[in-house]
Amino acid sequence: MGGYLHTRNVEKAVDKLATIIPLFLASTGFYGKRLDLYFNKLPAYVDKPQSKLKVVFIKNVSQQDPSSNDYGLYACLFAKYIYISNGVFYMGLIDIDAKYHRKRYATIMWQYGRSKNADGTIGKSEVTGMVASKFDGSDKEKEHA
C-alpha cells in the first residue's frame, strides 16, 4: 500500500498536525485545565524517573514487500528482537529471511501441537465447542465460525 509518494504525503500532513495541535491546545488553556496531564504529581509516579521517551529514527531497516502477508511474521520478529536486546532495538544490520522464519515458526507450532497431542492436553475450544471470532474476538460455536 502506498509507496514513497504516499509515505511522503502522510508525513507532510502529520508534521503539520504535530505543530498545530499542541499550539491549539496551549492557546485554549487545555494543559492548565487538565490536572491528570501532570502525571508526575500523582502518588504512583512521584519516585519514577521524569525523563522523556527517547526516539531514535533508524534508516535502512529491513521491510516487508507491501504485497506480502507477513505482517504477523514481522511483528513476531520485532517482539523477539526487542526481548533479546533488552529494549534496545536496532535492526539496521539484521537481514530478515522471511522464508526461513516462516518455516521456523511453523516448525515451532507443529512441535507444540505434537507435544500437546502426546500429553493428551485439550484446549478450551475443544472442551466448550466454542472458538473466538476473527472479526470481534467473541466466542462463537464452531459450526458458525
Q: Any idea where the domains of the chain sit in the sequence?
A: 1-49, 52-121
Q: What pLDDT shows up at residue 145? A: 47
Distance CA 112, CA 105 (A): 10
14-68 pLDDT tens trace: 888 888 888 888 788 777 776 666 667 777 777 877 776 676 776 776 666 777 6
65-117 pLDDT tens trace: 777 676 777 777 777 777 777 666 665 656 677 788 889 888 998 998 888 88
| Mean pLDDT confidence for 109-128 | 78
Q: What pLDDT shows up at residue 107? A: 93
Distance CA 66, CA 1 (A): 6
| Distance, C-alpha 140 to centroid of its chain | 26
Q: Has this prediction a pTM greater than 0.85?
A: no
Q: What pLDDT shows up at residue 30? A: 76
Are 101 and 73 in contact by the 8 Å Cβ rule? The answer is: yes
Q: What pLDDT shows up at residue 134? A: 60
**pLDDT interval class at 141 (50, 70, 90):** low
- Secondary structure, 3-state, the chain: CCCHHHHHHHHHHHHHHHHHHHHHHHHCCHHHHCHHHCHHHCHHHCCCCCCCCCCCCCCCCCCCCCCCCCHHHHHHHHHHHHHHCCCCCCCCCCCCCHHHHHHHHHHHHHHHHHHHHHHCCCCHHHHHCEEECCCCCCEEEHHHC
In the numeric block, which cell numbers belong to residue 111? 512441535
